[in-house]
Structure 1
């Protein structure tokens, strides 16, 4: 395992936050710090497409603009809204309605601010509680959802173990910045480090440190296991990137000998085979080949 703390933590943090703040997907719940509005968005977003959530969220808040308004409503109306907007799992509507009543009865109408107290609300588990604490109050711990696990697994070679994911995420998150950090790392997983990664096209800010980017192995806990890595084209594409990172440029045969001990220009694993790998990397915007010389794309 690669320990995230072995990397220049300050640079890693700065790179991600600057990438996020320079331009990210716009969702209306990212423009508010109202805890009720954020709670609604988090409950709706569980296993539901965000495009559908955006329309439903705005309609829900038009109808029930405050936690008090939701608590006063008949439960059947809330469940009916949920079903009408195809938000799935009607129990979530019931739990959200109950949570609103708890806020009114137990917390004088004020939504709790810490992950621990938020979990006293019906249907609010550790992830949702932490998300609300982070995005509403900037007082959360590091969020660890599927996207974050995928990012950490690939970038820092973190094993598929929840406790290790949580520790790594906690080590990386800057103090008192849970709002921007958790938004940023989830955005990274949702945009650049999806199941099919878009490292270069989305200008992933962690490419220089990323284990998967270096090796070409983009498996992850939620991504089906890829074909055998040893001896695969993925392995040799990773070797090409790694070797070229140490040189300004190399002649194609010099590169071949550095990535494969049995490389022979006219053999089975020779120039034709190597050009096929280079063609894949060029299509991804990673290398440039000119006059039989190869260099990393800057």
Structure 2
């Protein structure tokens, strides 16, 4: 897709991309208690706490907070100093977030009769609830949100589909990729992918990343991202050539060596230094990584993408 900031494109089999991620997530994912509830108050508390605190620490604080103030009515009626004191004692970041959470609970009680609004726009009217948090609550509580775009999601989209480092483009790409009406499972799944498999140091194989088949970074070996320093000397590197092999096979299907070679390097000469033997070695690397299958026959050597 051309967007004015660069070019990016989702794979043609986008349904397979979606199904692979959701299946991966539903088979095995980190268990957090706020993933087991659709209560918007409980989810809002988890989102506000998570803004500055590691999830492992949030879990204990979240449970203690909800034990003390289990509903918006309880929190709204609480002394604000007690809420701020809890926040500070649990090292949950800026104390004004506790103040905003207290005021938001009062809004829910006073302005909405104790019932949370269920759209991102309405949720953003609550004190201290910005667009990201509003969308997260709409997604996880009501399955009624847009695609969530955090640092993890940006990293995944940048690496997998070469989405340019531009917030508006990330939003467009994330929403195009998300299946309609499935914001709860989808947003959980893609954030889990960024947190478990596609971190700053990727664990593509160890985490069984479901997007390896389509991922441009996995094909090239260049895992730079908006929050990861650019790898040096990518132009002309072996990583770049790997990516070109995968791109050519994805676009053209099975290719013999002398059909593939010129699509990988402009100086390809079958019997030269950058010729068939060099290409066979490159394909052997990709075959070892499970990306490419190489077949030998009387007619020559043919490469194809693994399914």
Pick the TM interval, shorter chain.
Answer: 0.7 to 0.9
Q: Work out whether residues 120 and 145 of structure 2, in 8 Å CA contact, stay in contact via their aligned partners in 1.
A: yes
Which digits, 9 at most, give the CA deviation of each residue in 1:81-127, with x for residues without a partner? 11111111111111101111111111111111110110110110000
Aligned equivalent of 1:132 = 137
Whole-angstrom CA distance in 1 between matches of 2:57 and 2:104:
23
Whole-angstrom CA distance in 2 between matches of 1:88 and 1:280:
46
Relative to structure 1, is the Cα distance of residues 83 and 22 closer, same or farther in structure 2, using a 3 angstrom cutoff? same
2:189 to 147, 172, 184: 184
Q: Which runs of 5+ in 2 are unaligned?
A: 1-6, 294-300
Whole-angstrom CA distance in 2 between matches of 1:81 and 1:121:
21
Whole-angstrom CA distance in 2 between matches of 1:285 and 1:206:
13
Aligned equivalent of 1:225 = 230
Relative to structure 1, is the Cα distance of residues 258 and 137 closer, same or farther in structure 2, using a 3 angstrom cutoff? closer
Aligned equivalent of 1:42 = 47
Further displaced range: 219-228 or 44-53: 219-228
Whole-angstrom CA distance in 1 between matches of 2:292 and 2:17:
24
Q: Work out whether residues 124 and 134 of structure 2, in 8 Å CA contact, stay in contact via their aligned partners in 1.
A: yes
Which digits, 9 at most, give the CA deviation of each residue in 1:38-94, with x for residues without a partner? 000000011311001111101111111111111111111111111111111111111
Q: State the TM-score, normalized to the length of structure 1.
A: 0.83
Does 1:18 find its partner at 2:17? Answer: no
Whole-angstrom CA distance in 2 between matches of 1:149 and 1:67:
33
Aligned equivalent of 1:75 = 80
Whole-angstrom CA distance in 1 between matches of 2:137 and 2:204:
29
Q: CA RMSD in A?
A: 3.4
Aligned equivalent of 1:7 = 12
Q: Work out whether residues 8 and 164 of structure 2, in 8 Å CA contact, stay in contact via their aligned partners in 1.
A: no
Q: Work out whether residues 123 and 134 of structure 2, in 8 Å CA contact, stay in contact via their aligned partners in 1.
A: yes
Matched residue pairs, number?
291
Q: State the TM-score, normalized to the length of structure 2.
A: 0.81
Q: Which runs of 4+ in 1 moved over 2 A?
A: 231-250, 255-265, 277-288, 295-298
Whole-angstrom CA distance in 2 between matches of 1:23 and 1:138:
21
Q: Which runs of 5+ in 1 are unaligned?
A: none
1:65 to 44, 66, 70: 70
Aligned equivalent of 2:90 = 85
Relative to structure 1, is the Cα distance of residues 78 and 210 closer, same or farther in structure 2, using a 3 angstrom cutoff? same
Shift of 1:232: 3.3
Q: Work out whether residues 200 and 285 of structure 1, in 8 Å CA contact, stay in contact via their aligned partners in 2.
A: no
Q: Work out whether residues 215 and 242 of structure 1, in 8 Å CA contact, stay in contact via their aligned partners in 2.
A: no
Which digits, 9 at most, give the CA deviation of each residue in 1:237-296, with x for residues without a partner? 54576689977999xxxx99996758999x8xxx99x98x899979977799xxxx9x99
Report SS of the residue matched to 1:39.
helix
Whole-angstrom CA distance in 1 between matches of 2:205 and 2:306:
10
